[in-house]
Amino acid sequence: MTTQEAFYNYIVRLGDDSLILGQRISEWCGHGPILEEDIALTNIALDLIGQTNNLYELAVSIENKGKNIDQLAFLRLEKEYSNLLLVEQPNVDFGYTIVRQFFFDVYRKLVFESLCNSTDERLAGIAEKSLKETKYHLKHSSEWVIRLGDGTEESHRRVQEAVNTLWKFTDELFYQDEVDQNVIELGLGVDNSIFKATWNTHVEQVLTEATLTIPTNSWQHTGGRKGIHTEHFGYLLSEMQYMQRAYPNMEW
Protein backbone atom coordinates (compact mmCIF):
# COMPACT_ATOMS: atom_id res chain seq x y z
CA MET A 1 0.00 0.00 0.00
CA THR A 2 1.46 3.34 -1.03
CA THR A 3 1.33 6.36 1.27
CA GLN A 4 -1.07 8.01 -1.13
CA GLU A 5 -3.47 5.04 -0.94
CA ALA A 6 -3.20 4.87 2.83
CA PHE A 7 -3.83 8.58 3.28
CA TYR A 8 -6.77 8.43 0.86
CA ASN A 9 -8.31 5.52 2.78
CA TYR A 10 -7.69 7.23 6.08
CA ILE A 11 -9.51 10.39 4.99
CA VAL A 12 -12.39 8.42 3.48
CA ARG A 13 -12.82 6.57 6.78
CA LEU A 14 -13.06 9.87 8.66
CA GLY A 15 -15.51 11.16 6.07
CA ASP A 16 -17.60 7.99 6.13
CA ASP A 17 -18.00 8.25 9.93
CA SER A 18 -19.30 11.80 9.55
CA LEU A 19 -21.55 11.02 6.60
CA ILE A 20 -23.25 7.95 8.03
CA LEU A 21 -23.82 9.46 11.46
CA GLY A 22 -25.05 12.65 9.81
CA GLN A 23 -27.49 10.63 7.71
CA ARG A 24 -28.69 8.74 10.78
CA ILE A 25 -29.28 11.90 12.81
CA SER A 26 -31.00 13.61 9.91
CA GLU A 27 -33.69 10.91 10.18
CA TRP A 28 -34.82 12.86 13.25
CA CYS A 29 -35.67 15.90 11.16
CA GLY A 30 -39.32 16.66 11.87
CA HIS A 31 -39.51 13.87 14.47
CA GLY A 32 -37.54 15.35 17.39
CA PRO A 33 -38.98 15.02 20.89
CA ILE A 34 -39.51 18.80 21.04
CA LEU A 35 -39.03 21.53 18.47
CA GLU A 36 -35.85 22.84 20.11
CA GLU A 37 -34.22 19.42 20.17
CA ASP A 38 -35.33 18.74 16.62
CA ILE A 39 -33.35 21.80 15.55
CA ALA A 40 -30.38 20.85 17.74
CA LEU A 41 -30.18 17.38 16.15
CA THR A 42 -30.55 18.77 12.66
CA ASN A 43 -27.75 21.26 13.35
CA ILE A 44 -25.48 18.41 14.41
CA ALA A 45 -26.41 16.41 11.31
CA LEU A 46 -25.56 19.42 9.14
CA ASP A 47 -22.21 19.89 10.91
CA LEU A 48 -21.38 16.26 10.18
CA ILE A 49 -22.39 16.48 6.53
CA GLY A 50 -20.27 19.64 6.27
CA GLN A 51 -17.28 17.75 7.67
CA THR A 52 -17.94 14.98 5.16
CA ASN A 53 -17.89 17.51 2.39
CA ASN A 54 -14.48 18.86 3.41
CA LEU A 55 -12.99 15.42 4.02
CA TYR A 56 -14.23 13.96 0.71
CA GLU A 57 -12.91 17.00 -1.16
CA LEU A 58 -9.53 16.31 0.39
CA ALA A 59 -9.84 12.59 -0.42
CA VAL A 60 -10.60 13.11 -4.11
CA SER A 61 -7.74 15.59 -4.40
CA ILE A 62 -5.35 13.05 -2.85
CA GLU A 63 -6.58 10.31 -5.15
CA ASN A 64 -6.40 12.64 -8.14
CA LYS A 65 -8.50 10.54 -10.50
CA GLY A 66 -11.03 13.21 -11.30
CA LYS A 67 -13.79 11.79 -9.10
CA ASN A 68 -16.33 14.11 -7.52
CA ILE A 69 -17.48 13.88 -3.95
CA ASP A 70 -21.05 12.88 -4.84
CA GLN A 71 -19.64 9.68 -6.32
CA LEU A 72 -17.95 8.98 -3.00
CA ALA A 73 -21.03 9.78 -0.98
CA PHE A 74 -23.74 8.19 -3.08
CA LEU A 75 -22.36 5.72 -5.59
CA ARG A 76 -20.26 3.27 -3.64
CA LEU A 77 -21.43 -0.22 -2.72
CA GLU A 78 -21.99 -1.30 0.85
CA LYS A 79 -18.60 -3.02 1.10
CA GLU A 80 -16.83 0.11 -0.06
CA TYR A 81 -17.91 2.19 2.93
CA SER A 82 -15.51 2.04 5.83
CA ASN A 83 -17.37 3.79 8.65
CA LEU A 84 -17.44 2.55 12.23
CA LEU A 85 -20.27 0.13 13.01
CA LEU A 86 -21.33 2.40 15.89
CA VAL A 87 -22.45 5.22 13.61
CA GLU A 88 -24.66 3.05 11.38
CA GLN A 89 -26.69 1.67 14.31
CA PRO A 90 -30.36 2.65 14.13
CA ASN A 91 -31.79 5.55 16.12
CA VAL A 92 -34.24 3.29 18.04
CA ASP A 93 -35.25 6.10 20.42
CA PHE A 94 -33.87 9.40 21.64
CA GLY A 95 -31.85 7.62 24.35
CA TYR A 96 -30.03 5.38 21.85
CA THR A 97 -29.40 8.35 19.60
CA ILE A 98 -27.83 10.30 22.44
CA VAL A 99 -25.67 7.45 23.75
CA ARG A 100 -24.39 6.66 20.24
CA GLN A 101 -23.62 10.33 19.79
CA PHE A 102 -21.90 10.59 23.16
CA PHE A 103 -19.58 7.60 22.57
CA PHE A 104 -18.70 9.02 19.16
CA ASP A 105 -18.26 12.64 20.29
CA VAL A 106 -15.78 11.78 23.04
CA TYR A 107 -13.75 9.83 20.49
CA ARG A 108 -14.08 12.38 17.71
CA LYS A 109 -12.95 15.25 19.93
CA LEU A 110 -9.75 13.35 20.74
CA VAL A 111 -9.21 12.54 17.06
CA PHE A 112 -9.63 16.12 15.89
CA GLU A 113 -7.49 17.51 18.72
CA SER A 114 -4.63 15.32 17.53
CA LEU A 115 -5.30 15.95 13.85
CA CYS A 116 -4.84 19.69 14.41
CA ASN A 117 -1.14 18.74 14.43
CA SER A 118 -1.26 16.68 11.25
CA THR A 119 1.69 17.20 8.94
CA ASP A 120 -0.87 17.74 6.19
CA GLU A 121 -2.01 21.35 6.49
CA ARG A 122 -5.31 20.76 4.72
CA LEU A 123 -6.26 18.02 7.16
CA ALA A 124 -5.10 20.11 10.13
CA GLY A 125 -7.35 22.92 8.90
CA ILE A 126 -10.39 20.65 8.61
CA ALA A 127 -9.64 19.26 12.08
CA GLU A 128 -9.46 22.70 13.63
CA LYS A 129 -12.82 23.73 12.20
CA SER A 130 -14.47 20.40 13.02
CA LEU A 131 -13.09 20.38 16.56
CA LYS A 132 -15.16 23.44 17.47
CA GLU A 133 -18.30 21.75 16.19
CA THR A 134 -17.46 18.49 17.91
CA LYS A 135 -16.89 20.20 21.26
CA TYR A 136 -20.44 21.50 21.11
CA HIS A 137 -21.81 18.12 20.05
CA LEU A 138 -20.07 16.57 23.03
CA LYS A 139 -21.45 19.15 25.42
CA HIS A 140 -24.93 18.53 24.04
CA SER A 141 -24.73 14.72 24.18
CA SER A 142 -23.04 14.65 27.62
CA GLU A 143 -25.68 16.86 29.18
CA TRP A 144 -28.42 14.67 27.73
CA VAL A 145 -26.80 11.42 28.90
CA ILE A 146 -26.72 12.84 32.44
CA ARG A 147 -30.25 14.23 32.24
CA LEU A 148 -31.71 10.98 30.94
CA GLY A 149 -29.62 8.65 33.10
CA ASP A 150 -30.29 10.60 36.25
CA GLY A 151 -33.85 11.46 35.21
CA THR A 152 -36.98 9.37 35.59
CA GLU A 153 -37.14 5.62 36.07
CA GLU A 154 -38.12 5.17 32.44
CA SER A 155 -35.45 7.47 30.99
CA HIS A 156 -32.83 5.71 33.12
CA ARG A 157 -33.97 2.27 31.99
CA ARG A 158 -34.00 3.23 28.31
CA VAL A 159 -30.65 4.94 28.28
CA GLN A 160 -29.01 2.11 30.26
CA GLU A 161 -30.38 -0.28 27.67
CA ALA A 162 -28.78 1.84 24.96
CA VAL A 163 -25.42 1.77 26.77
CA ASN A 164 -25.67 -2.02 27.12
CA THR A 165 -26.50 -2.50 23.44
CA LEU A 166 -24.03 -0.02 21.97
CA TRP A 167 -21.05 -0.83 24.19
CA LYS A 168 -20.00 -3.70 21.93
CA PHE A 169 -19.22 -1.21 19.15
CA THR A 170 -16.85 0.94 21.20
CA ASP A 171 -13.64 -1.10 20.87
CA GLU A 172 -13.77 -0.52 17.15
CA LEU A 173 -13.18 3.20 17.75
CA PHE A 174 -9.58 2.17 18.41
CA TYR A 175 -9.20 -0.24 15.52
CA GLN A 176 -5.94 0.02 13.61
CA ASP A 177 -4.55 -1.60 10.50
CA GLU A 178 -1.94 -0.92 7.83
CA VAL A 179 -3.78 2.23 6.76
CA ASP A 180 -3.32 3.74 10.22
CA GLN A 181 0.26 2.55 10.58
CA ASN A 182 1.17 4.21 7.30
CA VAL A 183 -0.30 7.60 8.16
CA ILE A 184 0.89 7.54 11.79
CA GLU A 185 4.48 7.01 10.66
CA LEU A 186 4.38 10.17 8.57
CA GLY A 187 2.50 12.23 11.14
CA LEU A 188 -0.42 12.59 8.75
CA GLY A 189 -2.91 10.76 10.94
CA VAL A 190 -3.28 10.02 14.64
CA ASP A 191 -2.36 7.01 16.72
CA ASN A 192 -5.74 6.49 18.35
CA SER A 193 -4.38 3.87 20.75
CA ILE A 194 -2.76 6.62 22.80
CA PHE A 195 -6.06 8.11 23.84
CA LYS A 196 -8.03 4.95 24.55
CA ALA A 197 -7.49 5.40 28.30
CA THR A 198 -8.59 9.04 28.10
CA TRP A 199 -11.72 7.98 26.23
CA ASN A 200 -12.51 5.36 28.89
CA THR A 201 -12.00 7.77 31.77
CA HIS A 202 -14.12 10.46 30.17
CA VAL A 203 -16.97 8.07 29.33
CA GLU A 204 -16.87 6.49 32.78
CA GLN A 205 -16.97 9.88 34.45
CA VAL A 206 -20.10 11.00 32.58
CA LEU A 207 -21.85 7.63 32.90
CA THR A 208 -21.17 7.62 36.64
CA GLU A 209 -22.63 11.09 37.00
CA ALA A 210 -25.61 9.82 35.01
CA THR A 211 -25.94 6.87 37.46
CA LEU A 212 -25.36 4.49 34.54
CA THR A 213 -23.13 1.43 34.50
CA ILE A 214 -20.78 0.09 31.85
CA PRO A 215 -21.64 -3.47 30.89
CA THR A 216 -19.11 -6.08 31.94
CA ASN A 217 -19.74 -8.23 28.88
CA SER A 218 -16.53 -7.71 26.95
CA TRP A 219 -17.48 -9.23 23.59
CA GLN A 220 -16.76 -6.66 20.90
CA HIS A 221 -17.91 -6.24 17.32
CA THR A 222 -15.67 -4.96 14.49
CA GLY A 223 -15.59 -4.97 10.70
CA GLY A 224 -16.73 -1.51 9.63
CA ARG A 225 -13.27 -0.32 8.61
CA LYS A 226 -13.03 -3.33 6.26
CA GLY A 227 -16.49 -2.82 4.80
CA ILE A 228 -18.18 -5.59 6.77
CA HIS A 229 -21.31 -3.92 8.08
CA THR A 230 -24.26 -4.76 10.29
CA GLU A 231 -27.63 -5.59 8.75
CA HIS A 232 -28.92 -2.05 9.31
CA PHE A 233 -26.48 -0.51 6.88
CA GLY A 234 -28.08 -1.68 3.62
CA TYR A 235 -31.37 0.02 4.49
CA LEU A 236 -29.61 3.24 5.36
CA LEU A 237 -27.71 3.19 2.05
CA SER A 238 -30.76 2.47 -0.06
CA GLU A 239 -32.51 5.50 1.36
CA MET A 240 -29.43 7.73 1.17
CA GLN A 241 -28.50 6.70 -2.38
CA TYR A 242 -31.97 6.56 -3.87
CA MET A 243 -31.85 9.95 -5.56
CA GLN A 244 -28.43 9.51 -7.22
CA ARG A 245 -29.31 5.98 -8.32
CA ALA A 246 -32.70 6.92 -9.73
CA TYR A 247 -31.50 10.14 -11.39
CA PRO A 248 -27.79 9.66 -12.15
CA ASN A 249 -25.64 12.81 -11.97
CA MET A 250 -28.51 14.96 -10.78
CA GLU A 251 -27.58 18.05 -8.79
CA TRP A 252 -29.63 20.04 -6.35
Quick check: 171 binds another protein (CB under 8 A)? Answer: no
Quick check: 153 binds another protein (CB under 8 A)? Answer: no
Quick check: 147 binds another protein (CB under 8 A)? Answer: yes
CB of residue 36 vs another protein: minimum separation in angstroms? 4
Tell which one of 140, 158, 225, 229 touches another protein (CB under 8 A).
Answer: 140
Contact residues for 164 (Cβ-Cβ < 8 A; gap 6+): 215
Chain-centre distance for alpha carbon 96 = 14
Piece of 5-13, 29-37, 94-102, 218-226 that binds another protein (CB under 8 A): 29-37
Specify whether the CB–CB gap between 24 and 88 falls below 8 A.
yes
Contact residues for 69 (Cβ-Cβ < 8 A; gap 6+): 53, 56, 57, 59, 60
Q: For residues 42-71, which are near another protein according to CB under 8 A?
A: 43
Tell which one of 1, 39, 194, 243 touches another protein (CB under 8 A).
Answer: 39
Specify whether the CB–CB gap between 207 and 146 falls below 8 A.
no
Quick check: 132 binds another protein (CB under 8 A)? Answer: no
Tell which one of 21, 40, 45, 73 touches another protein (CB under 8 A).
Answer: 40
Task: Single out the residue of 86, 199, 205 nearest to residue 145, CA to CA.
Answer: 205
CB of residue 32 vs another protein: minimum separation in angstroms? 11
